[in-house]
Copies of this chain bind each other. A is one copy, B any other.
């Protein structure tokens, strides 16, 4: 892909595009960028809760719809928002053109409803940029090598945006959200959460993977590999946001944030003869299904395997476990994870101790603990998690001065 000069890529999510009025506001913002002399690509999600509503409609017709048809259905959502945004921009006197994922050259594998991008062949996007047009791209969508329409799954629009930024070597990649940046905790749950000026890819990846909704971890993964600085900004104000970047000092040991994931489920087996082999089989199945394991714990002594996975894929995985012949499965759909993220956490066991002590004071019992170089994740019952997070934010000294 050729390098466009001064190319800015902006992504707007569903709530920023929820009504015709908001679409007009987004159009004004896009045009403001174009006026500066930039080339502009805009990546859009579906309006408001359109995707959820389409999904509900599918469920009425078929409890377990074919994934290929589900992708066909859901992609109607961005089609509506992208064409309306294009019209709104034209109305302001600027030339715009909207492209589906397929037309934009977002080539994916064939895994319907959770496809992965394998290539970006954005020739049509390039041609229209060359003509001076503002190009609007449907986020979340792609096309497989056999010409089938695919979707990228949760957070797909972020992924589309960063993938395009990488392919075009964009001068700036901006993700507009309600919350306007990355915080030390979800500001809707923890009022004293602080906005971060900058965060490293690794830290952001951990936060995102552990539940922070502001960016999807797959988009962060692409940003990290292609060294794309991602600017997370507010859709509704001009306040500075957070930049996700490689330039963050990797040596500094510091807690960057706390996050939680209330949409997980756990599957556990105990008393297995060969838990290692069982875990390998399970992970192979998950890989084949394209489902990420949020947490994996294997204990040989107890013959125990525990996996934590997104609740939405729970039924699917549970039935696969049956086919593996692993018996005595205990499932729990009332669990949550709490994660603390920061570079160098592994070098400071004191932090783990403080986290466990704080959670215990909040009345939470850890069901499992997992650590990586830069994160610590605790699995607990879902009950009282929000309160525990607030306390933990304070106990770890993250509260902003009030």
Contact = CB atoms under 8 A, between A and B. Distances in A.
Given A76-B76, A79-B76, A87 B103 contact: no
Nearest to A20: B60
Interface stretch (A65-73, A164-172, A387-395): A65-73
Contact of A73 (B70, B75, B84, B91): B84
A237 to B, nearest CB: 23
B58 A87 contact: yes
A335 to B, nearest CB: 32
B97 A68 contact: yes
A72 to B, nearest CB: 4
Interface string A40-51: 000000000000
Given A62-B91, A69-B86, A73-B84, 9 more contacts: A20-B57, A54-B80, A57-B84, A61-B88, A62-B87, A68-B97, A72-B82, A72-B98, A72-B100
Contacts of A97: 68-69
Nearest to A148: B103
A259 to B, nearest CB: 35
5 contacts: A23-B61, A66-B87, A69-B83, A70-B87, A73-B84
Contacts of A23: 61
Interface string A85-124: 0111011000011101001000000000000000000001
B62 A72 contact: no
A24 interface: yes
A29 interface: no
Copies of the polypeptide in the assembly: 2
A147 interface: yes
A208 B155 CA distance: 48
A73 B80 contact: yes
Interface in A1-34: 20, 23-24
Contacts of A83: 58, 69-70, 72-73, 76
Nearest to A73: B83
B98 A69 contact: yes
Residue of A54, A62, A68 with most chain B CB atoms under a 10 A cut-off: A62
Nearest to A72: B83
A68 B63 CA distance: 36
B79 A20 contact: no
Contacts of A87: 58, 61-62, 65-66, 69-70, 73
A92 to B, nearest CB: 9
Contacts of A62: 87-88, 90-91
A86 B70 CA distance: 10
Interface in A170-202: none
Nearest to A90: B66
Contacts of A103: 147
